[in-house]
Structure 1
Amino acid sequence: MLRRAALPAVAALLIALGGCANATDPSSPTIVLPPSGAVPDYQLGGAYDPSPEVGIVGRDRGAEPAPGVYSICYVNGFQTQPGELDAWPRELLLQRDGEVVFDPDWPGEALIDTSSAAHREKIADTVIPWIEGCAGAGFDAVEFDNLDSYSRSGGSLSLDDSLALAALLVDAAHAVGLAAGQKNAAEDAALLHEWAGFDFAVTEECAAYEECGAYTAVYADHVIDIEYTDELPRPFAEMCADDSSPDSMVLRDRDLVTPDDDAYAFEACD
């Protein structure tokens, strides 16, 4: 079970950063949330024209947004992207005994060291231009992945550290008119929304793991779920019909390949 931060400690941390991240600023750009119940598609493995029924598309920050739909820009804010390790200063990578710590499930992704305010400011200096690039490209929102990387750090990082960096990144997204999406981290949804200011959630397999309620309790109908063909505990149609499943849910292949690949899979709820 993931370590839970004490609420007073989290509050004190964010007050030190300048106050609660979800405070309303009348001078801020208008933030538009994902359309409730719209059919999503998740295209991190490659961009392609979405099906006509699709109203929400998630793509990598290196891709252009899909025209005519609500577009979400994927940013890996707490771990390095595969192939981008050298783009990060070594001092910002979590290390143990002089060796960089990698995500055990994603060996190409190193954990970013969020353990100090100085590090978080430098991390933000790298990530915020990506966020601004998403806005400049025409995306409507940004999702931040690996908010729960602290849980894979062997105790070197904490939830407080993630919340503090997340608050910086969410503020940066809001400053350029982007809604900010929490990616996964069901256990921390309430704190991520309240103290970091996230507006909606993008989840993977919340129906398969029976944790969708942790998101909908916080974000109501602004939850977008991606299920995968190789991990279905029951027929997808049954999962769609389950009252606990989000209205915006899609079935995709694990590698999120494009339609010209034989492994491609896409199915929306009726």
Structure 2
Amino acid sequence: MKRLKAGDIIYRLFAIVFFLIFIYPIYFTVVSSFKTNTEIWNTMFALPSKIEWSNYTSAIFDVGILRAVLNSFIFSFGACMVVVVFVTMAAYVAARKLIRFSGALRLYYLLGLMIPPYAMLIPIVTMFTNFGFRDKYWPMILLYAAINFPMSFYLITGYIEGISKELDEAAIVDGCSTTGIVFRIIFPIASPGIFTGAIISFLAVYNELIFANTLLTNQAMKTISVRLLGLQGERFTSYGPMFASIVLSIVPILIIYLIFQEKVESGMAAGAVKG
């Protein structure tokens, strides 16, 4: 048997400690979703003495968490698609300096990173109210896409700058248009960086609360974060359905990750190498 060095032992101990730290919230959430309020407080770490399936039925039918998950997914996927398409085109223009004001374009999106989105909450609410954009999918999707545009822009621009311009020149010789170059040449090569930007945008929208809570008044349009916030009462909170709702909201993200696992890992690894 190979003898472990002191550094290897310390490394493995740290790995085990961090694994336990990160796995505990998941364990606590899943286990608590099958308990009553009393059992959650009295036996926080123990397994449930009796499985309370009523927590999940309450989360589905009373809380309406499945509709909230669908709404969050629609907003996230829609914003993600808008970001991927338009950011890729804007990033190509900036990276290749196809317009005279490429530097000003970069500065413009830099301001988008510097100014917190919630600092513009009041004018955005006013605009949505005056134009009748409340409780509609497309205005919210475009708003979320605009919020996540700057971060993805800089991420994808940096990736495209690492792609040789000779590919563009060869495509032009073959009669390819600028749009064709972006979607036929650049998009496949820069897909790891683009996919990383898409992941960041998707998760940011999926977990967003402030704009959703302010701009969505129709109960049928509520997102996951707003639904979970509504479960918190002033005098009493039913924690069983709350934890069940959290578990049901996590499941779609896990499924998406398992389906696109290779893309996620390759995108993050490529981003790390580029950085």
Same fold at TM > 0.5: no
- The normalised TM-score by structure 1 is 0.24
Greater radius of gyration (CA): 2
Higher helix content, 1 or 2: 2
Q: If the length of structure 2 is used for normalisation, what is the TM-score?
A: 0.24
